[in-house]
Amino acid sequence: MNISKQNIDDLTATLTLSIEKDDYAGKVETVLKDYRKNAQIPGFRKGKAPMGMIKKQYGMSVQMDEINKLVSQELQKYLNEADFRILGEPLPSEKQETIDFDTQEKFDFLFDVGIQPEIEIELSEKDTVTLYDIKVEATAVEDQIKQFRSQFAEAQNPETAEERDMVKGDLAEVDADGNIVEDGISKDAAVLMPERIEDADTKALFVGAKVGTTLTFNPKKALNETELPAFLGIEKEAVTEADYKFTVTEITRYVDAEMGEDLFKKVFPNEEISTEEDFRQRIEEDVKKSLASESDMRFEWDAREYVVAKLKDVAFPEEFLKRWITVSNQDREDFNTEALEADFPKVLDDLRWQLATSQIAQKAELKVEANDPMDTAKKMAAQQFAMYGMGNLPEEYYEDYAKKMLEDQNQMEQIINKVMTDKVIAYIRETVKTKSKKISMEDFKKLYEQS
């Protein structure tokens, strides 16, 4: 077995793996002997079939398997010990000559590799990255209070419907004379909101309707194409211009929760808040934390852009990378070369960032500690619960959810990557000079429109 490297240019090379018969013959013989022990061939007792027959039947496929295993193992071993690092995976070389396993005993396997460029990233107080201080506006607190009042709204059942009410009723298709169509479309407990009705005349029928009222209307005229099939309980293709009778059985109105201790307790169940002033201050604290988190995410964005810009002149084996990406995605129906060309600058920036984070982590001796994945997973769990209005839950809720996340190998890898990225960003923040800049929430949002 011999492996040689021939440079195509500074960033691509061809590896040639030369395999002699002695490299694989012994392994092939061992496997065939195992085959013989377990072979059940008509006319022979188990394990007593002639070796020549076993070789004739299985020899070629076993030889190919063992050669492929040998190539994979030796190639990986060579790359692990090499004084260079590759990008992507080795690809069969376009210069590879056809191999005939029936007649050849010696084989040359050629692989093209993309070589990782050498980089040097230095950061100090001479480097400056902006850190945004987002102002807490009164409207943000008010909007959050409105959201909580709506979230904990009380359901009431009035007798007369208003525009924003949920109106439930029994639905039945009728003919031109207003008679219920036998075997026509019908549905019990159909629900709609007058507010969602697009036709003004139909909306007027529902606003002011009372429980027990029977209305006749054309749903296709009243509702949009997206909501109509679900309302009728049928497929989109089955919708017709027919009229329907709708008998109101229930009206539900959600009334925003009143400001008071009952609401305070629902929003912050584990805290003692008794006054509206304290409630507002507590919400303002959460808004500040949320804005601080937004600022941190923007810092990560800007720090990444700053570091990547330092490496803009670093060259990559672009043609190899395009070929590797194409091969890796050849089974995807949505993949095409035009999209690859359009997205390729971003691919290169992602590679620059990966190389930079790797070097920064190595220089700063940053490591993923044993507890880091669980701590990060718990924070992610808390954020997900908070998105659904479930904040301030007992610690065991977050821990149980985090454990489930870490049981998934893909999520585990993503979390470990996030841990290391967070450590790199923290190191950058400590190392460079941060320029604090006050900004309104509106202007902060515009930053992403400009990026």
Q: Domain with 297 in it: what CATH number?
A: 1.10.3120
Note the pTM of the prediction, 2 decimals: 0.74
Distances 357 to 73, 90, 351, 362 between C-alpha atoms, Å: 29, 23, 10, 8
Q: What is the DSSP letter of 237?
A: G
Q: What residues contact residue 183 under an 8 Å CB cut-off, 6+ apart?
A: none
> Residue 250 domain-assigned?
yes
CB atoms under 10 Å from CB of 283, counted, come to 21
- What is the Cα–Cα distance from 73 to 228, expressed in whole angstroms? 60
> Residue 266 domain-assigned?
no
- What is the Cα–Cα distance from 295 to 289, expressed in whole angstroms? 10
36 with 54: CB under 8 angstroms? yes
- What is the Cα–Cα distance from 399 to 395, expressed in whole angstroms? 6
> Residue 260 domain-assigned?
no
Can you spell out the DSSP letters for 341-356? HHHHHHHHHHHHHHHH
> Residue 171 domain-assigned?
yes
CB atoms under 10 Å from CB of 414, counted, come to 14
> Residue 316 domain-assigned?
yes
Query: 343 and 239: one domain?
Result: no
Query: 301 and 364: one domain?
Result: yes
- What is the Cα–Cα distance from 21 to 341, expressed in whole angstroms? 44
Distances 36 to 28, 62, 66, 187 between C-alpha atoms, Å: 12, 13, 17, 69
In 3D space, the residue among 343, 286, 293, 282 whose CA is nearest the CA of residue 318 turns out to be: 343
Q: Which residues of the chain have pLDDT under 50?
A: none
- What is the Cα–Cα distance from 234 to 434, expressed in whole angstroms? 59
pLDDT for the residue 362: 94
> Residue 122 domain-assigned?
no
Query: 77 and 201: one domain?
Result: no
Residue 239, judged by CB atoms within 10 A of its CB (0-12, 13-18, 19+), counts as: middle
Strand, helix or coil at 227? Answer: coil
pLDDT for the residue 56: 84
Torsional class of 286: left (φ above 0), alpha (ψ -120 to 50), beta (otherwise): alpha
Query: 378 and 425: one domain?
Result: yes
Query: 303 and 435: one domain?
Result: yes
Query: 381 and 360: one domain?
Result: yes
380 with 405: CB under 8 angstroms? yes
In 3D space, the residue among 404, 366, 312 whose CA is nearest the CA of residue 117 turns out to be: 312
Number of domains making up the chain: 3
Q: What is the pLDDT of residues 410-445, one digit of tens each?
A: 999 999 999 999 999 999 999 999 999 999 999 999
pLDDT for the residue 391: 64
CATH of residue 225's domain is 3.10.50.30
Query: 246 and 348: one domain?
Result: no
Cα dihedral 51, 52, 57, 61, rounded to 10, equals: 80
Q: What is the pLDDT of residues 325-352, one digit of tens each?
A: 999 998 888 888 889 999 999 999 999 9
Q: Could you list the residue range(s) of the whole structural domain that residue 6 is in?
A: 2-115
Query: 215 and 107: one domain?
Result: no
pLDDT for the residue 51: 85
Query: 365 and 406: one domain?
Result: yes
167 with 251: CB under 8 angstroms? yes
In 3D space, the residue among 14, 17, 7 whose CA is nearest the CA of residue 113 turns out to be: 14
In 3D space, the residue among 413, 421, 386 whose CA is nearest the CA of residue 401 turns out to be: 386
Query: 15 and 36: one domain?
Result: yes
273 with 282: CB under 8 angstroms? yes
Q: What is the C-alpha end-to-end distance of the chain, expressed in Å?
A: 53
Query: 315 and 439: one domain?
Result: yes
Strand, helix or coil at 293? Answer: helix
Domain boundary, last residue among 255, 282, 316: 255
Query: 72 and 203: one domain?
Result: no
> Residue 360 domain-assigned?
yes
Q: What residues contact residue 215 under an 8 Å CB cut-off, 6+ apart?
A: 205, 206, 209, 245, 246, 247, 248
